[in-house]
Amino acid sequence: MIRVLCRRPGGGAAAELPPADVAGALADPRCLLWVDFHDEPHETCEAMLRDVFHFHPLAIDDAIQESH
């Protein structure tokens, strides 16, 4: 399950977004995002971190590995 929370200034509590809306929320500099990957396959997490967030491959590898 991927849970995405977005909080905007003056918006009160964070609103839950579908994962497909993350790219649009990233375009809003006022939006603070929290993305939680729970029991998701590594491929799904890696694809989102790479394609949506544009993280460096080494940062993705560190984020996905449960032990370093």
In order along the chain (68 residues), what is the average pLDDT of each group of 10 residues?
87 80 88 90 93 94 81
Cβ atoms of residues 16 and 33 within 8 Å = no
Based on its alpha-carbon atoms, the radius of gyration of the chain, rounded to whole angstroms, reads 13
Reduced to 3 states (helix: H, G, I; strand: E, B; else coil), residue 6 is: strand
Other C-beta atoms closer than 10 Å to the C-beta of 25 total: 19
What's the confidence (pLDDT) of residue 19?
86
Cβ atoms of residues 52 and 26 within 8 Å = yes
